[in-house]
Structure 1
Amino acid sequence: MPGPAKSEPFMLSPAQMAQAAEDAAYAKATGKPLKSFLLGLTAGGYIALGFVFFVTSQVGASGLAWSGAARVLGGIVFATGLVLVVLTGAELFTSSTLTLTARASGRITWGQLFGNWCVVYLANFLGAMTMVALVYLAGTWHNAHGRWGAVVLDTSLAKLQHSFLEAFTLGVLCNLLVCLAVWAGYSGRTTTDKILAVTMPIALFVSAGFEHSVANMFMVPLGLLIKGTAGAGFWRDAGIDQAAYADLTWPDFLLHNLAPVTLGNIVGGGVMIGILYWTIFHYVDGSPKRPPAGEQRGPRR
């Protein structure tokens, strides 16, 4: 008579999480580009929706004694975006930097890695811009007598006030936390587990003002669109001066924010989380895991 079936562990061990992360990275880098592109579109949109939630939570909070608590609240609600990414299997560039683990193990080539990054990055941008168009056309930025749009403008302008080094470092700090959130999510077996694992690291990075390249693909273009098209009534109702946003321009966004933040995101997520944990559980342990049956390892280059 067969004995009782063994139950699965309540959560994965750290070593199992490292293997799960590497397997997921391999699957992303070797999957169909069209699939990655479509999943990247959704990820860009979900992160944008997280920022919509954040902006809504910040209306009326500026200058108040509890604005720090409001920022924490904003971080918690923004986490909705990454929760949707994790639960739906969407492909987000910042977490796709973890494919460096599969490259370190020789399971993918540099061409596969960079090809996947390019496809996902472009798709994230298009997904974010789609949400920019929808939110703008819906007139959401007029909410609360224009104060919703004012939060977008103030947040966007603040992102362009950093030096290149500051923006890079803020990108490192951000994606260290994003990839920690995704990595921790691999330990969970239920939807609740994954939501809890993801939420607080994301709340930390948002409330501290760290920089996320894909989130910025939504926020700053929306701010630029509002700045360039809002009529006099908007500026009057919101109580802000259009001239104060003169530094909010496309060149400043692309060169002084998006470029350094993207580079920082690669270092913070791919190197400081992905390669660090690969080194601990694959290299230091001295017991590298074998690839799934039938899988061929890529050449080491």
Structure 2
Amino acid sequence: MSENDNQKEYQEKETENNIQEKTERPRRQFYIPSQIVDEFGEKGRDHLGQPFGGMMLLALTAGSFMTFGAIFSILIAEGVETQGLFHLLSGFGFAAGYAMVFISGAILFTEINVLLPSYLFNKSNLMKVNIYKFWGATYIGNILGAVMVAVLIELSGSLSPEFYSELSSYLDKKMKFMDHGVKGWFEVLVSGILANWLIGMAAFLTTAARDITGKILGTTLPVILFVAGNFQHSAANMGYFSMGVLASDKYAWYEYIWFNLIPASIGNLIGGGILVSLLFSYAYKEDLNTSLGKKKNRK
């Protein structure tokens, strides 16, 4: 047999092996972690590139979804006395709000705490990017969106007295730290770290999924955990507090902001930016192949 024949036979076997391998191995139904971090960076860049008007509309929309999530979390668990089932249903209800945010592309302050750092950690000209105006506008947009929906719900007269009684108990759980003074302020901060660590992982799992069912499931599991643990998530609390300001005078608006939203937001920045974005960006830095400003040079 000639050398050309041997080469041809070898190539035919290689082709056959490749076809067999593709036949036997099903297509992967999720993104691997390095691809997820890369997607985070791409989304962060896209958000920064949004025109201001479009960005504000998406921030308002995300805040609106938080109030809808808060409402659903109360309605779906109302009257349930078994604690485990209560937490499960309440978390499942709030997951509806986060699923709408993640899938619609709305801009949520706490999700941005994961996406933007992933972009900036992989960008060579970090200091040239002015993100603070964007961050602030997103935060304000989320609050305004949450309040807007709360006002519409109040005007609709749709909710029962039982709902408002249940809302009061939710607010008491969120504001219990106020009784601990300075210690309580820092407890909210630490609780905020835990909350956005989990919501960062919800974004991680949602990004990993490649179909709508997987995205909803990936969102739901971490949200149930953070709701059950009473971890303080500033975006989620915007939904509850917006209803609370309109329906009850037990707590003043500035108490919601100073004793919960501010420390929770600081904790959320740490939990999402460091424990999710920085952690995974560093862990998979050798695998990242992004278009965000740093290309890997392969030999």
Q: TM-score range by the shorter chain?
A: 0.7 to 0.9
- Cα drift, residue 8 of structure 1: 5.9
Residues 1-301 of structure 1: pairs in structure 2 closer than 5 A: 9-61=28-80, 64=81, 66-98=82-114, 99-106=116-123, 109=126, 111-141=129-159, 143=160, 146-162=161-177, 163-228=184-249, 245=250, 248-282=251-285, 285=286, 288-291=288-291
| Counterparts of 1:122 and 1:34, CA distance in 2 | 13
- Cα drift, residue 296 of structure 1: 9.4
- Structure 1 counterpart of 2:239, one-letter code: F
Question: Which string of whole-angstrom CA distances, capped at 9 and with x for unpartnered residues, describes residues 261-296 of structure 1?
Answer: 0101111111110110011111xx2x553416xx79
| Counterparts of 2:172 and 2:245, CA distance in 1 | 9
TM-score (norm 2): 0.82
- Structure 2 counterpart of 1:28, one-letter code: H
**CA distance 1:70–1:101, change in 2 (3 Å):** same
| Counterparts of 2:125 and 2:212, CA distance in 1 | 30
User: Percent identity among equivalent residues?
Assistant: 26
CA contact (8 A) 1:18 1:277 kept: yes
**CA distance 1:149–1:201, change in 2 (3 Å):** same
CA contact (8 A) 1:165 1:260 kept: yes
Greater Cα shift, 127-136 or 28-37: 28-37
**CA distance 1:46–1:281, change in 2 (3 Å):** same
The DSSP-based 3-state class of the residue aligned with 2:176 is coil
| Counterparts of 1:269 and 1:252, CA distance in 2 | 25
- Cα drift, residue 218 of structure 1: 2.1
- Cα drift, residue 108 of structure 1: 6.2
The DSSP-based 3-state class of the residue aligned with 2:210 is coil
The DSSP-based 3-state class of the residue aligned with 2:248 is helix
| Counterparts of 2:32 and 2:84, CA distance in 1 | 35
| Counterparts of 2:288 and 2:73, CA distance in 1 | 41
- Structure 1 counterpart of 2:53, one-letter code: L
- Cα drift, residue 221 of structure 1: 2.8
| Counterparts of 2:98 and 2:144, CA distance in 1 | 17
**CA distance 1:80–1:108, change in 2 (3 Å):** farther
**CA distance 1:152–1:108, change in 2 (3 Å):** farther
- Structure 2 counterpart of 1:151, one-letter code: E
The DSSP-based 3-state class of the residue aligned with 1:112 is coil
The DSSP-based 3-state class of the residue aligned with 1:160 is helix
Question: Which string of whole-angstrom CA distances, capped at 9 and with x for unpartnered residues, describes residues 226-262 of structure 1?
Answer: 124xxxxxxxxxxxxxxxx3xx122211111010001
**Aligned residues: CA RMSD:** 2.3
Gaps of 5+ in 1: 229-244
**CA distance 1:140–1:165, change in 2 (3 Å):** farther
| Counterparts of 1:207 and 1:198, CA distance in 2 | 15
CA contact (8 A) 2:146 2:242 kept: no
Tell me how many residue pairs correspond in the alignment: 266
Greater helix percent: which structure?
Answer: 2
Greater Cα shift, 219-228 or 12-21: 219-228
| Counterparts of 1:227 and 1:36, CA distance in 2 | 32
